[in-house]
Amino acid sequence: QAFISQHSVLRHIQQHKQAMGGNPPCASCKLLRRRCAEGCIFAPFFPADDPVKFANVHKVFGASNVSKMLQ
């Protein structure tokens, strides 16, 4: 039976996060299926843990119009 230390697991998770771009994409980027850039205009308003909020706004206004409002 192999023993895997907690340190090696945490290191592997950290390396995986860095390879995948760090934090999870915001709700907007997740819904629109695009990569969430570091300076994403939607991220402060639509966090990853509340996807319904962006889905509702997107349904009414559209992503393009929302981005214009936020600029």
Q: Can you tell me the distance from the alpha carbon of 12 to that of 37, in angstroms, rounded to the nearest whole number?
A: 23
Query: Residue 11's pLDDT is what?
Result: 74
DSSP 13-64: HHHHHHHTTSSPPPHHHHHHT----TT-SSTTTS-TT-HHHHHHHHHHH-HH
Query: Residue 21's pLDDT is what?
Result: 56
Query: Residue 47's pLDDT is what?
Result: 93
Q: Show the tokens assigned to 34.
A: 């695009």
The pLDDT tens digits of the residues spanning 17-61 come to 655 656 789 999 999 999 999 899 999 999 999 999 999 999 999
Evaluate whether 24 touches 48 at the Cβ level (below 8 Å).
yes
Prediction pTM value = 0.65
Q: Where are the domains of the chain?
A: 25-71
Instruction: Report which of residues 13 and 64 the model is more confident about.
Output: 64
Query: Residue 70's pLDDT is what?
Result: 93
